[in-house]
Amino acid sequence: MLVSDKCNKCKIVQNIEEFRIGRHICNSCTKKANEERLSKIQFCPQGHDTFITGRSAQGRCKECAKEAQKIFVNTERGRTYKREYQSEWIKKHPEIKKKVHQRSVENGTAWRYWLKKKYNITPEDWEAIFNSQNRMCAICSTITPNGRGKWHLDHNHITGRIRGILCSNCNRIVLPVIENYNNLLKNAQDYLEQFKEI
C-alpha cells in the first residue's frame, strides 16, 4: 500500500495524505499555485477588487454574482423560477410553513402585511380609523364585532377607497342588501308608510 509520494512540483517525498486523490502535486503547492493564479487576476472584468469582494467556489467575483442575481430575479424567468422553487419547497416542508404562518399570526406581522398589501395602510392607520368611530361599528354602533368575531375594513370595491370599520353582520348582510337593493328598500319603506295607520 502506497504511504508516500513525490510531488511533481517541489520534488519532495511526502505522506500520501498531503495529496488529493489522483493528483501528484501536494496540497501546499496546489495552494501556492492558486494564490499566484488569483493574484494575476485580482480585478474582475467589471473592475471589482476580488481581494476585497472575494470569489465564489467557481472563481467568480462575488460582487458580480450578487448583481447578476438581482437582475435575474427581476426578469420573468427569474420570478417564475422563484415561484416554482418556493412552491416545491413548501410542498416538501408543510410543517415549517405552518409554524411560520402561525408565528406571523401571533406576532401580528401577517395582519400588517395583509393591510399593506390590500389597503395600503398600517395597523396604526386602522386604529386611527376605529378610534374616529369611537371604537364601534360605523352603521349599527355596536361595540362587539359579532358574526365571525372580527371587525371588517369596509371599502369601495371600484375605487378601493376605505369607508370605515364595520361589524361582521353589517359588512356581510346589511351593507350588501343596501348597495344591491337600494330602490327595493325605498319602495318597501314607502309601502310601510302607506299602511302606517293600520
Domain-embedded: residue 137: yes
| Same domain, yes or no: 1 and 29 | yes
| Same domain, yes or no: 2 and 52 | no
Q: DSSP secondary structure string, the chain? A: ---EEE-TTT--EEEGGGB-TT--SBHHHHHHHHHHHHHHT-B-TT--BHHHH-B-TTS-BHHHHHHHHHHHHTSHHHHHHHHHHHHHHHHH-HHHHHHHHHHHHHHTHHHHHHHHHHHS--HHHHHHHHHHTTSS-TTT--SS--TTT--EEEE-TTT--EEEEE-HHIIIIIHHHHHHSHHHHHHHHHHHHHTS--
Residue 165 contacts residue 138 (beta carbons within 8 Å)? yes
Domain-embedded: residue 4: yes
Q: What is the pLDDT along the chain (198 residues), one digit of tens a residue?
A: 567 778 888 888 887 777 777 777 888 888 887 777 666 666 776 777 766 677 676 667 788 888 888 888 889 998 999 899 989 998 999 898 888 888 887 888 888 888 998 889 999 999 999 999 999 999 999 998 887 778 999 988 888 889 999 999 888 888 888 777 777 878 888 888 887 765
Domain-embedded: residue 124: no
Domain-embedded: residue 57: yes
| Same domain, yes or no: 144 and 194 | yes
| Same domain, yes or no: 81 and 33 | no
The phi and psi torsions of 19 (rounded to 5 degrees) equal: -120, 145
| Same domain, yes or no: 19 and 1 | yes
The predicted structure's pLDDT at residue 6: 80
| Same domain, yes or no: 198 and 178 | yes
| Same domain, yes or no: 24 and 52 | no
CATH number at residue 185: 3.40.1800
| Same domain, yes or no: 73 and 25 | no
| Same domain, yes or no: 28 and 57 | no
Parent domain of 6 = 1-40
| Same domain, yes or no: 137 and 159 | yes
The structure's pTM equals 0.47
The predicted structure's pLDDT at residue 39: 64
Domain-embedded: residue 149: yes
Q: How many domains does the chain have?
A: 3
| Same domain, yes or no: 177 and 146 | yes
